[in-house]
Amino acid sequence: MAKYPKGIKKTYTPKLKQGRVRKRENPDVYVLRCLLQASPHYVSGNHLAEKLKMSRVGVWAHVDKLRKAGLSIEASQNRGYRLAGEPDLLVSPLLEAWLKECKTDCPFYLLQKTDSTNSEAERLLAQGTEAPFAVLSHQQDSGRGRMGRTWHSPKGGNLYLSIALRPNVELVKFRNFTLWQGISIGKYLKDLTGIQNLLVKWPNDLICDNKKLGGMLTEASIDCDQVRSMVFGLGLNVNSKLGDFPTDLRDSSTSLLAASGISWRLHELAAKLIKTCLVTSKECLGKDADTKLLKEWKEMDYLKGKKIKVQSGKETYTGRADGIDHSGGLRLKLRNGRDRVAHAGEVSLLL
């Protein structure tokens, strides 16, 4: 259970912009938006009853339903309700409330279990679902990574998130999409958690203390050099303990909990990551995007100056990593003094 901060025992009257419940707004989501705005304080049952145009018993029934879904909502006789904690599994109304708090209008599909959220997003796109939208799942049976790898996706505590877009832009404008997302997500996580040693390993790994914290997988459908639809998948180890990882991943993986000692609130993380991804997908189309990318990559580049081996198809070469070029390729200084740029491949560190 990840906790919400405890305040002094004060009642706060949330001033949601609309003042009233939005037309057709789910009452559970409205209650949670009020509790989030009031956090760490309480919201009176009277206030909720008035806004929702129902009795206090009716409000209590909604609170009870949210509790049964796993949320910890404290009740105090004279003060009302307070959001105290959330479980390690996403709950739809709380994610919706957080997205609204972040002013992010993105429909989402939250699944108990799926093969892969990227595959689910592709199926929804193929059915004509309007984009953007997000797909999240409590667990994945066939979570996949780059180069045919699998992504370990057990139930509880981690994020498996895919965001589907229909960008209709030239491929060249989106060629650095994953690098942009890596920088934005890395910076956001660094700011949120205060973990300093959080960097991006070209092209798609989030690294913390030299271990893998998360991975990104972008898959696109291209037609005549135009990106028609695309799915950006993010797997992030949030609250898993090192002992929860299979033995073959234990030495090379980490989580936000393992790195910081704190249990993180999945709903806030998911909502803010969705926001970050949507904002970044516009930013990477902006003027001078390539110049900005080169500058920002320097701050987040895990490989910078390290001795590495790149395995690309049947070819293997070694050298020192030297940042990226404007096309997003990994620059290497080879042992023979020449420069080389890798556009694809598996990168490993040499000691």
150 near 142, Cβ under 8 Å?
Answer: yes
SS3 88: coil
204 binds ligand BTN (CB under 6 A): yes
Query: At which residue do the structure tokens 């009277």 appear?
Result: 46
Q: Across the chain, where does the E strand assignment appear?
A: 2-3, 72-76, 80-86, 108-111, 133-137, 159-165, 169-170, 198-201, 205-208, 211-223, 226-236, 307-312, 315-324, 330-334, 339-342, 346-349
Please state, in angstroms and rounded to a whole number, the distance separating the CA atoms of residues 296 and 318: 25
Instruction: Kindly tell me which residue out of 185, 217, 256, 293 binds ligand BTN, with binding defined by CB under 6 A.
Output: 217
154 binds ligand BTN (CB under 6 A): no
Q: Which residues of 119-135 are buried (b: 16+ CB within 10 A; e: fewer)?
A: bbbbebbeeebebbbbb
We find the least distance from the C-beta atom of residue 163 to ligand BTN, in angstroms, to be 10
- Give which of 272, 265, 238, 249 is closest to 103, Cα–Cα: 272
Give the list of residues 6+ apart from residue 85 with CB closer than 8 angstroms, or none. 1, 2, 3, 4, 71, 72
118 binds ligand BTN (CB under 6 A): yes
Of 39 and 176, CB closest to ligand BTN: 176
232 binds ligand BTN (CB under 6 A): no
157 binds ligand BTN (CB under 6 A): no
Instruction: Copy the structure tokens of residue 36.
Output: 């989030």
Of 39 and 162, CB closest to ligand BTN: 162
Helices and strands (H and E) in the chain: how many: 10, 16
152 binds ligand BTN (CB under 6 A): no
Fill in the amino acid letter for 172: V
Of 31 and 310, CB closest to ligand BTN: 310
132 binds ligand BTN (CB under 6 A): no
Instruction: Kindly tell me which residue out of 104, 162, 184, 240 binds ligand BTN, with binding defined by CB under 6 A.
Output: 162
**Binding span for ligand BTN by CB under 6 A among 2-10, 100-108, 233-241, 318-326:** 233-241
Of 108 and 160, CB closest to ligand BTN: 160
Of 104 and 140, CB closest to ligand BTN: 140
Instruction: Copy the structure tokens of residue 158.
Output: 């981690």
We find the least distance from the C-beta atom of residue 288 to ligand BTN, in angstroms, to be 29
**Binding span for ligand BTN by CB under 6 A among 7-15, 56-64, 215-223, 270-278:** 215-223
Q: Cα 3 vs. chain centroid, distance in angstroms?
A: 19
Instruction: Kindly tell me which residue out of 4, 151, 202, 264 binds ligand BTN, with binding defined by CB under 6 A.
Output: 151
> What angle, 0 to 180 degrees and rounded to 10, lies between the N-to-C axes of helices 177-193 and 266-283?
140
We find the least distance from the C-beta atom of residue 115 to ligand BTN, in angstroms, to be 8
Q: What length is written for the chain?
A: 351
Of 39 and 137, CB closest to ligand BTN: 137
155 binds ligand BTN (CB under 6 A): no
Instruction: Kindly tell me which residue out of 93, 215, 319, 345 binds ligand BTN, with binding defined by CB under 6 A.
Output: 215
Instruction: Kindly tell me which residue out of 132, 157, 182, 235 binds ligand BTN, with binding defined by CB under 6 A.
Output: 235
Q: How many residues bind ligand BTN (CB under 6 A)?
A: 21
Q: Provide the binding-site residues for ligand BTN, judged by CB under 6 A.
A: 116-118, 140, 143-146, 149, 151, 160-162, 204-205, 215-217, 233-235
